[in-house]
Amino acid sequence: MPPRPTIEWQTNGVCNYDCSYCIQSRKYRQGHPSDADIDRFLAFFADLPGVWEIKMSGGEPFAFRGFMERIIPGLATLPHRVSVLTNFSAPLGVLRRFVALVGDRLEVVSVSLHREYVDVGAFVAKARTFRSWLRPETAFVVNNVLVPGTVAELAAVKAEVEAAGLKYFPQVMKTKHGVHAYDAEELPLVQAITGACPTAREANVAPSYRGRRCWAGTAYFVLDQFGRAFACRTAKRFGEGYLGNVLDGTFRLAPGPAVCRYDICPCTVPANRGIVELGA
Ligand code: SF4
Ligand code: SF4
């Protein structure tokens, strides 16, 4: 699969939840760009050659007022594809306006089910309503972190989501340095939910692609709320792969693909967009 140019943009740090298992520390779950910086981000996207998928996350994007007031109306004027990862706490009226503004360029909506904050039945009912507003071409996914200590309850959650005709996407719990080591009781339950050897379309098990050719930095990069761009999430974690800042004009794409040197690829976006070459 040829690489599909993709940007993962952390539009803001603020979040209206405080999940006990959040991988982002409270210290980093803060802040958002100013109106002037949003305009600079939009100008940067407008100048990008070709069509990119801009996949936004936070914090929680909808918890930042500027997301619906400025970012989405601005992106709606550009040719790029738009995706979002959200905790799905925004009211349906706001979500309806989001769908209407983005229109047929809406690529993927990933909604994360956080049972510490929502009732599963109400979440699923809301998701069904929202799904009915999307074109069939727009992917809609319900993410669920396999939170340690709760995994025995999650087969029923998966069944409830799937019974509603929705895609359930399990994610193993990540830690600062890798993946949570589930105990002997929970590990088989995790594997029953994810499958023994899932593809990146079936589950996020944060595999290693060390040694594979990857277009991170060339056809894919991650962008934070301060404008800093990195080749990928893992590179950023190690303080590597810095591509410059899109707000001060220092951003440059890497010259070409490189061989992955990391033991974890924590997000399925590179695998599912052809950024990392997985072969047949
Ligand atoms: S909704 Fe997401 S970003 Fe917010 S606290 Fe929960 S896991 Fe963290
Ligand atoms: S395979 Fe994943 S971890 Fe490795 S360079 Fe590519 S995006 Fe980064």
Mean pLDDT by 10 residues, the chain (280 residues): 93 96 90 97 97 97 98 97 98 98 97 98 98 97 97 98 98 90 96 94 94 97 98 95 97 96 95 89
Given a contact cutoff of 8 angstroms between Cβ atoms, the answer to whether 268 and 212 are in contact is no
Ligand nearest to the backbone CA of 19? 1
Give the tens place of pLDDT for each residue, 46-81. Answer: 999 999 999 999 999 999 999 999 999 999 999 999
pLDDT for residue 25:
87
Q: Give the residue among 111, 125, 192, 130 at the shortest CA–CA distance from 164.
A: 125
30 lines ligand 1 (CB under 6 A): no
Domains located in the chain, CATH noted: 6-272 (3.20.20.70)
Helix (H, G, I), strand (E, B) or coil at 59: coil
> What residue type is 213 in one-letter code?
R
Indicate if the alpha-carbon torsion angle 186, 110, 56, 214 is positive or negative: positive
First to last CA, the chain: 9
pLDDT for residue 193:
97
60 lines ligand 1 (CB under 6 A): yes
d(CA 239, CA 167): 34
Distance 59 CA to ligand 1 centre (A): 6
Given a contact cutoff of 8 angstroms between Cβ atoms, the answer to whether 3 and 219 are in contact is yes
Out of 4, 210, 222, 260, give the residue to mutate to test ligand 2, the one with the largest number of ligand atoms within 8 Å of its CB: 260
DSSP codes joined into one string, 204-234: B-----TTSEE-BTTTEEEE-TTSEEES-HH
d(CA 73, CA 80): 13
Of ligand 2's listed atoms, the one at least distance from the Cα of 209 is 1
